[in-house]
């Protein structure tokens, strides 16, 4: 299965709906799994109608193009309030927000691989976080996952 072709197809549909494509993910074994398409709205929230419209259009195109062999379930969803940051652009878009971070391995300045911080941005392949008033810089490739913290 060619996830890059699927991503390109999904992106065309998503952009035509005035949305952004955050991610395309496959979960499961070949021939039987879940194709997950995460969509976002630059300003505002993703609606149920947005997900439904993208799902119908992408599903039809995937079937016509036969890009997913075997059986699969297509899920189209918003990233949610505690969204994962998927791309380098997300690290700039959410600058100043509180995040939950998981690193691939320990960094000397931190007590462990998991921590909460304020996202200070991304520059030249290095992500800056403010942890308890101290700025810590971590190479982008050393980050396993970053999620926004829900602020109530």
pLDDT score, position 16: 95
**Domains of the chain, first to last:** 3-77 (3.30.300.70), 88-148 (2.30.30.100)
pLDDT score, position 145: 96
Q: Is 61 left (phi over 0), alpha (psi -120 to 50) or beta?
A: alpha
114-123 and 98-103 strand pairing: antiparallel
Distance CA 5, CA 111 (A): 41
Comparing 53-62, 77-86, 105-114, 125-134, the range with the smallest average pLDDT is: 105-114
Provide the sign of the torsion angle of the four alpha carbons 104, 106, 108, 110, taken in this order.
positive
Check pLDDT > 90 for residue 28: no
């Amino acid at each position: 299965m060619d996830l890059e072709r699927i991503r390109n197809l999904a992106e065309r549909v998503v952009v035509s709906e005035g949305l952004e494509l955050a991610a395309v993910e496959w979960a499961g074994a070949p021939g039987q799994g879940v194709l997950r398409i995460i969509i976002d709205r630059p300003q505002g929230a993703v609606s149920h109608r947005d997900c439904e419209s993208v799902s119908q259009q992408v599903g039809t195109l995937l079937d016509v193009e036969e890009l997913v062999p075997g059986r699969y379930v297509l899920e189209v969803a918003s990233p949610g309030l505690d969204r994962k940051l998927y791309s380098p652009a997300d690290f700039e878009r959410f600058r100043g927000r509180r995040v939950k971070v998981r690193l691939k391995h320990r960094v000397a300045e931190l007590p462990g691989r998991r921590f909460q911080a304020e996202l200070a941005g991304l520059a030249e392949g290095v992500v800056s976080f403010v942890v308890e008033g101290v700025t810590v810089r971590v190479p982008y490739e050393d980050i396993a996952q970053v999620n926004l913290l829900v602020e109530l």
